[in-house]
Amino acid sequence: MRTLSLTAGLFVLTGLLLNPCLPRASAQNLGSVKGQVTFGGDKVPMPAPVNVDKDQAHCLSKGPITSEEWVVNPNNKGVRWAIVWLSPNNDVKNPEPIKGIPEALQKSKNPTVAMDQPCCRYEPHVVAMRTDQSLIFKNGGAVAHNVQYQGCGTQGNPILNPGAEQKIGDLTYGWTGMTVGCNIHGWMKAYVRVFDHPYFAVTDADGNFEIKDVPPGNYYLITWQEAIGLHNSKAVKVDGKNVISAGDKIAIAAGQETKAPPIVLQPK
């Protein structure tokens, strides 16, 4: 069985290598970038329990709730929940549109993105999404929460009873992003960023990210993380205008996987 699948695999691989007309052809005109966001401090922060001073029976029913301000993998210092994205320019307040987005990626496949709060914390803790998507706040838990959200062109503060949900749309890119919090349970915090293109990623538990199907060209790779904000950002004056500059220059080549420079976040 193993031999058979290996043979079949080799057959497919050979077919891919020999046949230049397979459907992946368009990918040859696009590139990708892979990288890792790591913690630059000496001592890796360990998950600290938050003070759950309300609705303990429900909120602690699945164990202690820990702060997610820094979620760092002690084995490789990878930082989870950072958002990394591409921009043609380094002016984060006024990003230029990305040109050459392939037809298949011009619209999002999913019209909505959900953020649930099943046990007095947001899941996921960080959301990156597109302007053509709506955000749905859900309450899959057993107690009421208010959802105070602000940024990306909107704000609100609905009360969500167990099982309720609230959909918000028409979000715009906002350079400071959106913050989400609950006043009933003060430790609950989440973050949302909205982009008018598909070239962004949220880092995983190893701090890794990948951005695929990118039109080749020169970009800035910009990183945000909740404890530090925009990585390596600075306020500069350009033509008398106040500009927030951020990001590392990166060239994306067609048909290649580009390795991002190390992104090392220094704790404040």
Contacts with Cu ion: how many residues (CB under 5 A)?
5
Q: Can residue 185 be called a binding residue for Cu ion (CB under 5 A)?
A: yes
Binding mask 100-129 for Cu ion (x = CB under 5 A): ------------------------------
Contact 267, 41 (CB under 8 A): yes
Closest to Cu ion by CB, 52 or 243: 52
- Listed ranges 83-91, 107-115, 151-159, 186-194: which one lies at the site for Cu ion (CB under 5 A): 186-194
- Listed ranges 21-29, 172-180, 182-190, 235-243: which one lies at the site for Cu ion (CB under 5 A): 182-190
Closest to Cu ion by CB, 53 or 170: 53
- Taking the CB of residue 160, how many other CB atoms lie within 10 A of it? 18
Q: Can residue 138 be called a binding residue for Cu ion (CB under 5 A)?
A: no
Helix ranges (H only) for 95-143 are none
CA angle at 188 for the pair 183 and 182, rounded to the nearest 5°: 25
Closest to Cu ion by CB, 145 or 193: 145
Closest to Cu ion by CB, 188 or 228: 188
Q: Which of 175, 167, 213, 220 is nearest to 196 (CA)?
A: 175
CA angle at 156 for the pair 152 and 161, rounded to the nearest 5°: 130
Question: Left (φ > 0), alpha (ψ -120 to 50) or beta: where does 3 sit?
Answer: alpha
Among 121, 125, 130, 145, binds Cu ion (CB under 5 A): 145
Structure-block tokens of residue 240:
């008398």
Distance (Å, whole) CA 210 – CA 200: 8
Among 13, 16, 46, 184, binds Cu ion (CB under 5 A): 184
Q: Which of 128, 80, 93 is nearest to 247 (CA)?
A: 93
Q: Can residue 193 be called a binding residue for Cu ion (CB under 5 A)?
A: no
- Residue 130: beta bridge partners? 195
Closest to Cu ion by CB, 144 or 243: 144
Q: Minimum distance from CB of 65 to Cu ion (Å)? A: 11
> Which residues of this protein are in contact with Cu ion, per CB under 5 A?
145, 182, 184-185, 188
